[in-house]
């Protein structure tokens, strides 16, 4: 059985006080709503990781995640945060390769492969993002691009390593645009990714990988998206910044 995961990516939003208030509201609402088969991950800005982690305490459903990690172990990399640092504060998840990192910070497939290695070597779970820009969707090469993204950054892993990766498919044209992929478009791509994983690692491994959908997930489309057989949850941006909306999405799973 694959894990069902709803992760909120807060991106560069909220003050500490607002982050604590949002966490407290989510904790209050999720407690009653979710059974043990769903994990909720709050990917908060770096300065709040320790505070939010402590606030969550021993919560068995809600976990904290980082939004990025350095490809380096330590040293003279001003402004960077290593996997060892993230691990040392007890944070179990790290988003790697978000399209905003690819687009604004020039992160390419090779760099992301190194980052995935570092996160896994630290014993943490990477949430590896892939997804095509609009022009690629329009010219019809989206499936081959996403397969290539997965291949270039993950296919060097052993089967045991791959099993620890969570994949998030986030079509760039659906991020922050209010224009979500249809549930059929999401399902089609998730099936393509799973089949591609199976071609290299076999069906058993590929069936064990959680593949999340991201891109304008909202309370009113979450149920339909999550009902697809290959959609194992969501990576939620804007809608994760409002407690009620986010918890409705969690409930939809």
User: Per CB under 6 A, does 238 bind ligand 13P?
Assistant: yes
User: Per CB under 6 A, does 211 bind ligand 13P?
Assistant: no
User: Per CB under 6 A, does 215 bind ligand 13P?
Assistant: yes
CA–CA separation, 107 vs 112, rounded Å? 7
Residue 85, H or E segment: helix 83-88
Query: Is 190 an annotated catalytic residue?
Result: no
* Residue from 65, 97, 171, 237 binding ligand 13P (CB under 6 A): 237
Residues of span 92-121 touching ligand 13P by CB under 6 A = 98
Residues of span 59-88 touching ligand 13P by CB under 6 A = none
Closer CB to ligand 13P, residue 101 or residue 147? 101
Q: Which two tokens stand for residue 148?
A: 């290539």
Q: Which of 47-55, 113-121, 199-207, 213-221 is the region at the interface with ligand 13P (rule: CB under 6 A)? A: 213-221
**In whole angstroms, how close is the CB of 226 to ligand 13P at the nearest point?**
14
Of 196, 141, 150, 152, nearest in space to 169 by CA: 150
CA–CA separation, 228 vs 25, rounded Å? 29
**In whole angstroms, how close is the CB of 7 to ligand 13P at the nearest point?**
8
In sequence order, what are the residues at sequence separation of 6 or more whose Cβ sits closer than 8 angstroms to the Cβ of residue 213?
168, 169, 170, 181, 186, 190, 225, 231, 233, 234, 235
State the DSSP code for 240: G
Query: Is 170 an annotated catalytic residue?
Result: yes
Closer CB to ligand 13P, residue 126 or residue 215? 215
How many residues of this chain bind ligand 13P (CB under 6 A)? 14
Catalytic pick among 71, 107, 170, 187: 170
Q: What's phi and psi for 227, nearest 5 deg?
A: -80, -10
Closer CB to ligand 13P, residue 169 or residue 201? 169
**In whole angstroms, how close is the CB of 176 to ligand 13P at the nearest point?**
4
User: Per CB under 6 A, does 214 bind ligand 13P?
Assistant: yes
User: Per CB under 6 A, does 185 bind ligand 13P?
Assistant: no
Of 84, 86, 111, 85, nearest in space to 96 by CA: 111
Q: Which two tokens stand for residue 122?
A: 């630290």
CA–CA separation, 253 vs 251, rounded Å? 5
Helix (H, G, I), strand (E, B) or coil at 181: coil
Active-site residue set: 98, 170
Binding site for ligand 13P (CB under 6 A): 9, 98, 170, 175-176, 214-217, 235-239
């Amino acid at each position: 059985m694959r894990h069902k995961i709803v992760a909120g990516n807060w991106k560069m939003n909220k003050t500490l006080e607002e982050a604590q208030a949002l966490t407290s509201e989510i904790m209050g609402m999720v407690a009653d709503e979710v059974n043990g088969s769903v994990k909720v991950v709050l990917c908060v800005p770096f300065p709040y990781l320790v505070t939010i982690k402590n606030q969550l305490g021993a919560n068995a459903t809600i976990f904290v995640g980082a939004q990025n990690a350095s490809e380096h172990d330590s040293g003279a990399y001003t402004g960077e945060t290593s996997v060892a640092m993230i691990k040392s504060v007890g944070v179990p998840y790290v988003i790697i390769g978000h399209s905003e990192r690819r687009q604004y910070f020039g992160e390419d497939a090779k760099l992301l492969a190194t980052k995935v290695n570092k996160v896994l070597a630290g014993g943490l779970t990477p949430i590896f993002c892939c997804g095509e820009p609009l022009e690629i969707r329009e010219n019809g090469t989206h499936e081959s691009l996403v397969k290539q993204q997965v291949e270039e950054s993950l296919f060097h892993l052993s089967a045991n390593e791959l099993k620890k990766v969570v994949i998030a498919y986030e079509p760039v044209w659906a991020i922050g645009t209010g224009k979500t992929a249809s549930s059929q478009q999401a399902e089609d791509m998730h099936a393509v990714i799973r089949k591609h994983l199976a071609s290299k690692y076999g069906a058993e491994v590929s069936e064990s990988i959680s593949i999340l959908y991201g891109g304008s997930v909202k309370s009113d489309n979450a149920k339909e998206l999550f009902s697809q057989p290959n959609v194992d949850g969501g990576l939620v941006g804007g809608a994760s910044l409002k407690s009620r909306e986010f918890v409705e999405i969690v409930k939809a799973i």
